């Protein structure tokens, strides 16, 4: 029982800590919704009918989360037919199976970040934003906004590549929708764009944790910049205190396929094209501290600085 509690607490701490490391905030999950209850008073009645009628004639505006709730017959459209079925239900008439009911609107945005960190993106240079969310088995669709204006319509594409015309601060927002049309409340962030940035300088542009929420195996994604592409990446785990690498037997016990240089120095990957790495933190057990060292190499053989990420008792820190 103690182990189970510790795992749960650790997972929650991972979530809290990773959110603090992201450029953008993550949205919270919403409770299930009662179909037809567009005013969210926990009942479907004539007040909801009146609101839908007002919406149909343009006298009121529905928020994104109200629109799927108003679709009582679940045909993908809000119409007078929905109000008719609600009224029939209210007087005790039988309604077809599948009408009304409960919509699952639980959505959790696990990560939202840019390949050029805020303050390191230059005007005129394309920036790619990536969002990931949990929306149930059916998956998510995404829409992107800059300063409140939609710049990419809702689709299965979870990335936005956008070129900022000039330097300044921009309000960047993503909305993730589940199959019923519900979206997360407000994952957004302020993104700073500068006049210029020395992109010819080889370096690690970003090291981001992705898909970390409630996972035993968060993923580290690395991006290099400058120099001459394509890039390759090396990943190595060291003891935090001594800085020494672990033995071949240590990695074999974890089941990791290791690579070794001429000095028998072990790498999880060495000069690999993989720009992401899955970290099986639960396999490391409790009460451990490790260094994960990341380095990139460009096509001319030039190396970036080494970036160290600390993995400590299931708390992942950059």
Q: For residue range 303-314, what is the model confidence (pLDDT) as tens digits?
A: 888 887 776 544
Same domain? 97 vs 151: no
Residue 11 lies in a domain: no
Same domain? 316 vs 303: yes
Domain boundary among 156, 182, 197: 197
State whether 213 and 306 are in the same domain. Answer: yes
pTM: 0.56
Give the domain range for residue 73.
33-103
Evaluate whether residue 5 is within a structural domain. no
> Domain holding 191: CATH number?
2.60.40.10
Shared domain for 252 and 208, answered yes or no, is yes
Token pair 């933190």 in the structure block, residue: 281
pLDDT of residue 134: 80
Last residue of a domain, one of 48, 78, 103: 103
Residue 158 belongs to a domain = yes
Which has the closest alpha carbon to 264: 252, 247, 251? Answer: 247
Domain-located, residue 162: yes
Domain co-membership, 116 together with 160: yes
User: What is the torsional sign of CA 8, 9, 14, 16?
Assistant: positive
pLDDT digits (tens, 9 = 90+) for 35-64: 999 988 888 999 999 999 999 999 888 877
CATH label of the domain that carries residue 94: 1.10.1330.10
pLDDT of residue 185: 67
User: Do 94 and 38 have their domain in common?
Assistant: yes
Domain total of the chain: 3
CA 189 to chain CA centroid, nearest Å: 13
Do 239 and 186 belong together in one domain?
A: no
DSSP string, 59-81: SS---TTHHHHH-TT-SSS--HH
Residues 90 and 119 in one domain: no
Residues of the chain with pLDDT under 70: 1-31, 185-186, 199, 206, 209-218, 238-268, 279-290, 311-318
Sign of CA dihedral 73, 79, 80, 83: positive
Cβ of 242: how many Cβ atoms within 10 Å? 8
Please name the helix (run of DSSP H) or strand (run of DSSP E) that holds residue 285, with its range, or none: none
How many whole angstroms separate alpha carbon 160 and alpha carbon 149? 14
Does residue 120 fall inside a structural domain? yes
**Which residue, of 146, 180, 197, is where some domain finishes?**
197
């Amino acid at each position: 029982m103690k182990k189970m509690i510790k795992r749960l607490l650790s997972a929650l701490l991972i979530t809290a800590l990773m959110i603090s490391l992201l450029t953008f905030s993550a949205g919270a999950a919403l409770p299930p919704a009662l179909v037809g209850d567009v005013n969210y008073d926990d009942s479907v009645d004539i007040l909801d009918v009146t609101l839908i009628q007002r919406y149909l004639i343009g006298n009121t505006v529905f928020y994104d989360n109200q629109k799927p709730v108003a679709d009582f017959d679940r045909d993908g459209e809000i119409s007078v037919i929905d109000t008719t079925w609600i009224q029939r239900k209210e007087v005790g008439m039988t309604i077809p199976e599948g009408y009304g009911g409960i919509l699952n609107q639980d959505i959790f945005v696990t990560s939202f970040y840019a390949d050029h960190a805020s303050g390191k993106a230059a005007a005129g240079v394309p920036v790619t934003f990536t969002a990931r969310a949990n929306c149930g088995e059916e998956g998510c669709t995404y829409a992107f906004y800059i300063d409140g204006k939609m710049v990419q319509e809702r689709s299965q594409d979870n990335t936005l590549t956008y070129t900022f015309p000039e330097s300044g601060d921009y309000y960047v927002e993503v909305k993730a929708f589940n199959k019923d049309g519900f979206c997360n409340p407000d994952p957004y962030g302020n993104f700073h764009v500068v006049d210029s940035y020395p992109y010819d300088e080889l370096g690690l542009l970003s090291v981001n944790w992705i898909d970390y929420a409630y996972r035993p195996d968060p993923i580290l994604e690395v991006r290099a910049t400058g120099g001459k592409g394509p890039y390759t990446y090396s990943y190595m785990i060291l003891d935090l205190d001594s800085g020494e690498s672990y033995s071949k037997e240590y990695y074999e016990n974890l089941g990791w396929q290791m690579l070794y240089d001429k000095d028998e120095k072990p790498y999880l990957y060495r000069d690999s094209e993989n720009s992401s790495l899955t970290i099986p933190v639960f396999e490391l057990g409790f009460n451990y501290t490790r260094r994960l060292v990341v380095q990139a190499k460009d096509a001319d053989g030039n190396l970036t600085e080494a970036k160290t990420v600390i993995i400590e008792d299931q708390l992942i820190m950059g």
